[in-house]
Amino acid sequence: MATKRIRVDYLARVEGEGALDLHIRDGEVDKVRLRIFEPPRFFEALLRGRAFTEAPDITARICGICPVAYQMSSVHAMEDALGVVVDGELRALRRLLYCGEWLESHALHVVMLHAPDFLGYPDAIQMAREHGDAVRRGLAVKKAGNELLRLVGGREIHPINVRVGGFYRVPSRTELAPVAEELKQAREHAAEILRWVAGFPFPELERDYEFVALRHPAEYPFNEGRIVSNRGLDIAVADYPNEFEERHVAHSTALHSVLKRRGSYHVGPLARYNLNFDRLPPDVQALAREAGLDPACRNPFRSIVVRAVELLYACEEALRIIGDYRPPPMPAVPVEPRAGVGHGCTEAPRGSLYHCYRLDADGTILEARIVPPTSQNQGTIEDDLRAIATAGLDLPDDALRDRCEQGIRNYDPCISCSTHFLKLRVHRQ
Amino acid sequence: MSPRASRILVVGVGNRDCGDDGIGPLVADRLAGRVPAGVQVRALGGDMLALIEMWSGRDTVIVIDAARAMMQAGRIHRLEPILEPLPRELALGSTHALGVADAVELARALDRLPRRLVVYAVEGAVFEVGARPSAEAAAAVEAAAGLIAAEVDALVMGQKEQAHA
């Protein structure tokens, strides 16, 4: 077998590295093996023996981009185990905090990381020289998200204000007023970003995914709902272990999460959108249609447009929550430890994030399980890459690598943050 | 409070949970109480694009970041990226998302650099999640804090500083 390594290019300080092996035999893609870093395994062990109250702050450290998702899934799982219900304004504040994280994460990914792929730039810096207005808009939207995290989460990175039962401190209406003004501007910027990305050239690819996401009776999902799919799955979060399992695959240290009965599935913006289009406000639906999106979209490259739709939604939802907000009398509801098992699933920017904890009577964590979106999408990413590589077999290796990176970035996995993160090995036989 | 002081920002960047990547925030901690009133000292983790907003409206910005070990862990470099891009071989990237070098170049492309920007890069050796800072990097924290405190003092006093590593 003729083997050649095309390029090795990664920063020593990037968390792990991505590696993709493409085996091509007789002009066809024979094997696709993707390896990407998975941080939570380390944290599952770290959590054992710690108090239930520590989980939100410990798990927030797993990711600098989506700490809120880890905090939210952990507090929901703990509250499930402890029989606590958080509702009213505290629940609304959690949605507001999640809006901030979606704004930060999606603005970063859409404008700084994914858009250059579509426009043929090596990175956002090169792109900024010719698309400065778009980059400025992305930064402004991201800043509005930072402000929400600072106000509701206590600080912009690794927020510290979240606790099981609610928050340590809640903001006043006066504190939220300036960020509302910023969000109104951000909403205009998000609409412009949506129009901008809608005009990108999208590679032809449609796949028959099983989309999986939360679905709530009335809301576009952040942190509550049933886990549903377009193939009939409709379960409570507590039934997650009955339907999903993580499997070791020989070529990777990471576990692949699969539906026990059907295999690979797809979580993230495209799944949320396909399963919850009717939960978007009518004006957001209208702008999505103007951007060329139907209520059903199966081209993973159009996920950049869906993320822009979610940016718009997060601005609107944050403004709605701030407009209705009345500070609750207490920043948190009382929580007493007890033995039990709890499950939580919330919608991280890059897809469903499941947590499960088993606690003893004094609230010590006996067992922790965290299934991040990236491991849930891993099988689907490999399937996409098989299709992308098959369509691009005649491309030069550099162009093939770029297209594969673009395809992986459709899922915004943790590793995709670094430019040219992928070690690509093409084995042609 | 000196008007000059309020236009100076010092930012220690990096992830405290990743060994020597936390050098920047550690230096920022060490500067508490050692810079003139009005000078803002902050720590920043995650992606570095937030720097562009943080330094908006500031005349002078000093950034402290960990760098990949090129010569010797603990070695301190003083760089002025207004004049030329940060050297890529120092890998002033980030453990996640975009790093200081990216933020500087993006700001340059958008004409949003501060008037004066100084980057103190401290070579590190250990960047794994959960690791403690290496002895060499930990030893460099005080040295870097001393250099920066002296430079800030000189700036506030309006002197032409030349604090070299």
The answer as to whether A13 is a domain residue is no
Q: Where residue B122 sits, what CATH number does that domain have?
A: 3.40.50.1450
**Most confident region among A2-16, A329-343, B99-113 by mean pLDDT:** A329-343
Q: Does B17 touch chain A (CB under 8 A)?
A: yes
Q: What's the pLDDT tens digit per position in A404-429? A: 888 988 998 865 444 444 555 666 66
Q: Report if residue B163 sits inside a domain.
A: no
Query: Residue B126 falls within a domain, yes or no?
Result: yes
pLDDT digits (tens, 9 = 90+) for A319-370: 999 999 999 999 999 999 999 999 999 999 999 999 999 999 999 999 999 9
The confidence score (pLDDT) of residue B152 equals 95
* Tally of structural domains, chain A: 1
For residue B141, tell me if it sits in a domain. yes
Residue A40: is its pLDDT beyond 90?
no
Is the pLDDT at A7 greater than 90, yes or no? no
A13 contact residues in B (CB cutoff 8 A): 21, 66, 68, 91, 93-95, 99, 127
Which residue range forms the structural domain that includes residue A334? 40-393+401-417
- CATH number reported for the structural domain that contains residue A373 in this entry: 1.10.645.10
Q: CB-CB: which of B52, B95, B96 is closest to A139?
A: B52
Could you tell me how far CA B129 lies from the centroid of its own chain? 21
Residue A421 CA to residue A73 CA, distance in Å, equals: 28
User: Residue B54: inside a domain, yes or no?
Assistant: yes
B151 lies within 8 A of chain A by CB: no
Burial class (CB in 10 A: 0-12, 13-18, 19+), A394: exposed
Are β-strands A244-248 and A340-348 bridged in parallel, bridged antiparallel, or unpaired? unpaired
Query: What pLDDT is recorded for position A420?
Result: 43
Residues of A in contact with B103 (CB under 8 A): none
Residue A18 lies in a domain: no
Residue A19: in which H helix or E strand, if any? strand A18-25
CB contact under 8 A, A13 and B91: yes
Q: Predicted ipTM?
A: 0.84
Domain that residue B127 falls in? 5-156
Q: Is A140 a member of any domain? A: yes
Average pLDDT over residues B63-74: 86
State whether A42 and B129 contact (CB < 8 Å): yes
| CB atoms A156 and B46 under 8 Å | yes
| Residue pair B74/B139 in contact by the 8 Å Cβ criterion | yes
Q: What are the φ and ψ backbone dihedral angles of B21, each rounded to 5 degrees?
A: -60, -20
CB atoms within 10 A of CB A115: 23
Span A371-384, average pLDDT: 90
CB contact under 8 A, B93 and A136: no
Report which DSSP code applies to A156. S
In a domain, B104, yes or no: yes
Distance CA B136, CA A245 (A): 44
The count of domains in chain B is: 1
The pLDDT value recorded for residue A35 is: 72
Task: Note the pLDDT of residue B6.
Answer: 87
Q: In chain B, which residues have their Cβ closer than 8 Å to the Cβ of A132?
A: 109-110
| Gap between the Cα atoms of A203 and A225, Å rounded | 33
- Which pLDDT does position A14 carry in this prediction? 29
